[in-house]
Structure 1
Amino acid sequence: MSLGKPQQLLFVPDTELGTRLAEAHSCPTIDSYSSGRPAIVGDAEPTRSTRADMSGKIMLGFGTVPSTFPPSVRASLQAARRGSDVDTSEIPGSLVLTIRVADTVRVQGTISCLHQVFWATVDGQVVAATDARLLAELAGTAVDANILTTWTLSPQAPYPFGLQPPWKDMHVVPPGHCLIFNTDGTRPCIEQYWCPPAPDRDAQESRDRLRERMIEAVRVRAERSDALSCDASGGIDSSVVLALAARERNDTTAFTTGPAALFDEETSWGRVIVDATGVERWKTAGPDSFPHVFDRIDETLLRTDLPFAGEPVKMRSRFIAEAVSAATSGTVTTHLTGHFGDELFSSGVAHLRDLGLRRPLEVRKRVELLHARTRIPRRTLMKWATSRSSYHQSLQDFVRDGHTAPGWLSMESSIPPWVHYREETRERLGSQLEHATVSPLGTTAEQHETLSRLITSGSILRHESQIMAPAGIFVDAPFGDDRVVDAVLRSPIGKLQDPSRVKPVLLDAIGDELPQAIVNRTAKTDSTAAIWTGLTQNASRLRTMSTNMLAAQRGVVDEGMFRASLLGPHPPSLLPMSLWRTLAVEAWLRDNEGVRHQISVDPIGVNYP
């Protein structure tokens, strides 16, 4: 029995074409225009949505959303003359939001990309969806091999290349932005609903804001009628979430699992936080039945709309969903995790640029710490700290060379040697830089790296949550809420990525909720060995995945070189994620061979900010 459904929403114009598209989707109508035509159709859990109607001005939220919108937001909706006028910054949670005011429609996802919105034009009319595959089926668009190449990069392609859906003539709404279009499907434009904040000067103000918004983020989830569970691995991030959840609800179920190599460590530390919070229900699962990396890699578990970087561990997501469901007696459950904690609070190198001209002595100290931790040469780190090259220039260098050196990101982004980086691909990417200067994601380099890591992780968690939803398990990550992300990015310059302490911003704000043993925990067992073990145990399945590759047929990879890298000796320089990314692309191509084309796309242009 399926208890839940992955969220799949389609937003259509108030036209005859919109009605035909809605009928083709064959899903229930969620909301309609005043004309009676469908405005939104799709699969969405009724208990995970909120609607406001202010004199015919409509706002709907889907996902983790409060039962009613805050009064300030409702007042803003009442006063709005078009969809873009509404200030949504006070809405807690993590949600897809749509607003209809007068003859305009507004649709947006989240900064973290846990919720994304895609759009295309069908016969000249704008259609948007939360699922790119659904949009491709309705619009009749094909795979774009040049964009697909960027999905093979490890750890990810630099923004904005890593966000683009690998479907021709399809667009994604960037993080912190919304799509606006007229109800007749014309005049699409992209506008910002959130701007990266200027860093605070007052550290205490920053800490207080983050604490307040994390409590709010957990509370909006705890207020749901679902059963509530939370990871209990003993890590700092999940421990913060569990501590706050236990304050809100005394029926919270703590959950611990992991592979054999980590299980004893996970349960030992899990016991520390469970005892400290007084949680009465603590369930464990594994380790003998915990899936290996690459288990069933050649089978379709979920037809993802985008290449899923977590494809090699997809069976773990299903295992966790089934185990959590068993722990909560098979009821619909909101399962909280510490996802996004590492992305938001871990140290990196980007902040050196922000400090370079302000605090040179501090930079030298941090260079030594980062060199010892990352082995990035001191000269490279100092060069970055004193660099004044623009982000746009770094993208131009990437298009030319196929890789980026550490700087805007701590790790080099590079195209693997088995991937064909063709001149056609260079031209395709380079054309996006010709007409407008691309700015970094944040107001500082530190913010940019933090947001880059966040949206990469958000895309992965988005697919993991889709795997778990049919078991009635709705994965929720309070750290990914827009309001929490905004609070984190207000941290004083250099504080967020300070390498002298473990997650100083988080612990300064909420560390008093944790036992001292958790606060002092500085390391976890490296799980890399489990990757190579899984590869060996699933060699036959991986050989199947690397034979007669669709990615090779499309000219994206050299099949022989990839198979040799996958199944042959693995030098230290070979990062597992580079293999994962290519496997994800191949799995995605195989899963999407049967996309049915219904209506041809007639693309119209739009200028991105």
Structure 2
Amino acid sequence: MHWFGGGSSGAPVPEGAHLVWSDPPLWVVGPCPERRVKTVQRDGVQLAVLGPCGADEVELERAMSARDLASAAGLWAGSYTVVRHRRGRDEVEILTDPAGGCPLYRVSTADGTVWGSSSRALAGLAGQQVDTEWLGAFLADKQSPLPGRSSWAGVMPVPAGHLLMLTREGAASVTPWWQPSRRSYEEAVSLVSELLADGVQTRVEGVAVSADLAGTDSTTVAVLAAQHGRVLALTAHPEAVTWGGDMRYARQLRHPSIEHLHFPLGRAHLPFATTTTVLPPTDEPAPSSGLWPMLSEQLLSVAAQGATCHLTGDGGDNLFMAPPTHLADLARRGRMFRLAHDAMAWAQLRRVSPWPLLRSALRRDTRGLARPWLERPAWLLAPAVEAPSHPDGADAALLADVRGAAHSTHQDVQLAAALGIELSNPYFDGALLDAVVSVPAPDRFTVCRYKPLLVDAIGPLLPEAHRLRSTKGVFAGDFHRGARENLSRLLALADGRLAETGLIDPRPLRAAIHRLGLGVESVWPPILAALTAEMWLGAVASTAPTAWVPVSEVAR
């Protein structure tokens, strides 16, 4: 596994780490491409940028001497962490990205604070115990687990869009550095176009690239990548179906640098199927755990053809197809005609009643507008914890959704890394999030067009059929079939470690799984949370904790 971190002077260092600099220590662990670590050192100042980042040498030099690190380095293209050490001030600044696509954690030790990009690795300094309260909150609502806690006891997250400051003595402070900007729709369209192109470019230059080719989001990324070289574009489809759905759109895209690869899905690729490729351990339950049979073979297939970086469209829906949380903003501002119009249009589109939408809007209940199906599962025994407050308005709801999705998808990045593939998600770039959320929420929303801000930004890059597309592939049928054909395995998961710890009652969970196998319409997220959490517990239980040693024992 590749990860990075640092700490106060005298803090321990993970065994096998490679030091970027030694005092105070900054390190990387595992295979790390050189282009993912940019460093500049001059006049007693050390600056490092870890992760895909589009900053050039001039921008890096400017950030070294900037009075405010965030204003100089916070909104470059990419998804990255910035570290600056100024000897005269004896402090280290660690800047997290606004979207949370590159999550950071910290832990307190007798030798000072240690921080890093892997909570599981840091857990070796804190007892290597899963935080069962966090896990219970995850089972109740995987998008809103306990704030200020991680899946590992004693390991704390550093919030997205914050600055972690360490002193030589080991003291730590965390302060916010980012607030959403404000722009017109036209200004944001131009900026989204520029940032998305730059974010893709910084990931693909000089490497062999593959990409998903399915919906509008992934197709856009594939076309942007193809401007810089060959792209192996992969479209998954049922093995007996070679037309329609995503295949129809994939066939209409013709680009001289895009090589199409069809990936037929059979029984072995169904959700929850057994596979010889063992599920790797991750920091938290990975959303693609149930899809590991399919995902692992897809990644291995592109790796066999030379690809080392695989691009996805994850995050496009979160950014550009938000639920109608803006209705709460309209209610707050007294714009009742627009509120009624948009509620009726959304209800007609989704074939639901508008009255629950209007009630939630008038109560300013953004969570009810975004996820009206959310309720506590009958099988959950974990003590109820105080839920985080509702996001205040559509902007806050968008931020919470994007950050939750980016944080969750990072676990899939770790899964892919175990296979030697760099999984990259340009839609989770912090600067891109800033550009999207800068548009007033009512201007971002319409039921008349599909992802208007994205489609207006990418302009003529896609064929007309893609620009006019208003649907995307759904896989509910595959999940029901996977549950039916792998029922015994899922029932065994229901009787596993979660049940042993008393977090769940396996009987109602087994009943819910049986209904899935019968094809009964179900609320999937809480069931998937339980199954992926059980698979995760099994994966981390079979893995030794990270060993830590004095910095003097690590080579630079």
1:561 and 2:508 are equivalent in the alignment: yes
What residue is the counterpart of 1:341 in the other structure?
A: 316
In the TM superposition, residue 41 of structure 1 has moved relative to its aligned partner by: 4.3
SS in structure 1 at match of 2:85? strand
Give deviations 1:312-369, integer Å, cap 9, x for gaps: 112222112111113xx33x52222211111111141211112223532221111112
Where structure 1 has 5 or more consecutive residues not aligned to the other structure, the ranges are 1-5, 392-404, 601-609
SS in structure 1 at match of 2:442? coil
State whether residues 195 and 432 of structure 2, in contact with CA within 8 Å, keep that contact through their aligned partners in structure 1: yes
Range moving further from structure 2, 290-299 or 101-110: 290-299
Residues 458 and 406 of structure 1: CA distance in aligned 2, closer, same or farther (over 3 Å): same
What residue is the counterpart of 1:372 in the other structure?
A: 348
SS in structure 1 at match of 2:460? helix
What residue is the counterpart of 1:133 in the other structure?
A: 120
**Rounded Cα–Cα distance in structure 2 between residues aligned with 1:163 and 1:263:** 47
1:53 and 2:56 are equivalent in the alignment: no
In the TM superposition, residue 106 of structure 1 has moved relative to its aligned partner by: 2.5
What residue is the counterpart of 1:64 in the other structure?
A: 52
**Rounded Cα–Cα distance in structure 2 between residues aligned with 1:420 and 1:132:** 26
- Work out which of the residue numbers 255, 271, 279 in structure 1 matches 2:234: 255
What residue is the counterpart of 2:243 in the other structure?
A: 264
1:226 and 2:207 are equivalent in the alignment: yes
1:240 and 2:220 are equivalent in the alignment: yes
In the TM superposition, residue 230 of structure 1 has moved relative to its aligned partner by: 2.3
SS in structure 2 at match of 1:526? coil
What residue is the counterpart of 2:16 in the other structure?
A: 27
- For normalisation by structure 2, the TM-score amounts to 0.89
Residues 90 and 493 of structure 1: CA distance in aligned 2, closer, same or farther (over 3 Å): closer
Matched to 1:586, the amino acid is E
Give deviations 1:527-571, integer Å, cap 9, x for gaps: 101001001111121122122x22122221112221222234668
Matched to 2:415, the amino acid is I
1:42 and 2:29 are equivalent in the alignment: yes
In the TM superposition, residue 84 of structure 1 has moved relative to its aligned partner by: 5.5
Matched to 1:591, the amino acid is A
In the TM superposition, residue 597 of structure 1 has moved relative to its aligned partner by: 7.2
**Rounded Cα–Cα distance in structure 1 between residues aligned with 2:81 and 2:74:** 13
State whether residues 395 and 441 of structure 2, in contact with CA within 8 Å, keep that contact through their aligned partners in structure 1: no
Residues 46 and 252 of structure 1: CA distance in aligned 2, closer, same or farther (over 3 Å): closer
In the TM superposition, residue 98 of structure 1 has moved relative to its aligned partner by: 2.1
**Rounded Cα–Cα distance in structure 1 between residues aligned with 2:108 and 2:240:** 50
Residues 190 and 595 of structure 1: CA distance in aligned 2, closer, same or farther (over 3 Å): farther
In the TM superposition, residue 302 of structure 1 has moved relative to its aligned partner by: 0.6
- Work out which of the residue numbers 550, 553, 576 in structure 1 matches 2:497: 550
1:353-432 equivalent positions in 2, closer than 5 A: 353-356=328-331, 357-374=333-350, 377-388=353-364, 406-407=368-369, 409-422=370-383, 425-426=384-385, 429=386
What residue is the counterpart of 2:477 in the other structure?
A: 529
Where structure 2 has 5 or more consecutive residues not aligned to the other structure, the ranges are 549-556
What residue is the counterpart of 1:176 in the other structure?
A: 161
What residue is the counterpart of 2:554 in the other structure?
A: none
State whether residues 218 and 312 of structure 2, in contact with CA within 8 Å, keep that contact through their aligned partners in structure 1: yes
SS in structure 1 at match of 2:446? coil
State whether residues 162 and 177 of structure 2, in contact with CA within 8 Å, keep that contact through their aligned partners in structure 1: yes
**Rounded Cα–Cα distance in structure 2 between residues aligned with 1:517 and 1:475:** 27
Residues 63 and 519 of structure 1: CA distance in aligned 2, closer, same or farther (over 3 Å): same
State whether residues 142 and 167 of structure 1, in contact with CA within 8 Å, keep that contact through their aligned partners in structure 2: yes
**Rounded Cα–Cα distance in structure 2 between residues aligned with 1:289 and 1:302:** 22
Percentage identity across aligned positions? 22
In the TM superposition, residue 90 of structure 1 has moved relative to its aligned partner by: 4.1
Matched to 1:217, the amino acid is G
In the TM superposition, residue 149 of structure 1 has moved relative to its aligned partner by: 0.8
Residues 358 and 210 of structure 1: CA distance in aligned 2, closer, same or farther (over 3 Å): farther
What residue is the counterpart of 1:397 in the other structure?
A: none
- For normalisation by structure 1, the TM-score amounts to 0.82
Residues 486 and 79 of structure 1: CA distance in aligned 2, closer, same or farther (over 3 Å): closer
- Work out which of the residue numbers 189, 201, 207 in structure 1 matches 2:173: 189
**Rounded Cα–Cα distance in structure 2 between residues aligned with 1:143 and 1:29:** 27
Matched to 1:95, the amino acid is Y
SS in structure 1 at match of 2:41? strand
Residues 417 and 95 of structure 1: CA distance in aligned 2, closer, same or farther (over 3 Å): same
What residue is the counterpart of 1:400 in the other structure?
A: none
SS in structure 1 at match of 2:432? helix
**Rounded Cα–Cα distance in structure 2 between residues aligned with 1:173 and 1:281:** 40
Matched to 2:187, the amino acid is E
**Rounded Cα–Cα distance in structure 2 between residues aligned with 1:231 and 1:525:** 13
**Rounded Cα–Cα distance in structure 2 between residues aligned with 1:61 and 1:525:** 37
Give deviations 1:18-38, integer Å, cap 9, x for gaps: 2xx31xx2213232234xx64
1:293 and 2:271 are equivalent in the alignment: yes
**Rounded Cα–Cα distance in structure 1 between residues aligned with 2:242 and 2:440:** 37
SS in structure 2 at match of 1:77? helix
State whether residues 129 and 153 of structure 2, in contact with CA within 8 Å, keep that contact through their aligned partners in structure 1: yes
State whether residues 70 and 95 of structure 2, in contact with CA within 8 Å, keep that contact through their aligned partners in structure 1: no
In the TM superposition, residue 380 of structure 1 has moved relative to its aligned partner by: 2.1
1:478 and 2:463 are equivalent in the alignment: no
- Residues paired across the two proteins, number: 542
SS in structure 1 at match of 2:272? coil
What residue is the counterpart of 1:606 in the other structure?
A: none
State whether residues 309 and 584 of structure 1, in contact with CA within 8 Å, keep that contact through their aligned partners in structure 2: yes
- Work out which of the residue numbers 143, 150, 165 in structure 2 matches 1:165: 150
What residue is the counterpart of 1:211 in the other structure?
A: 193
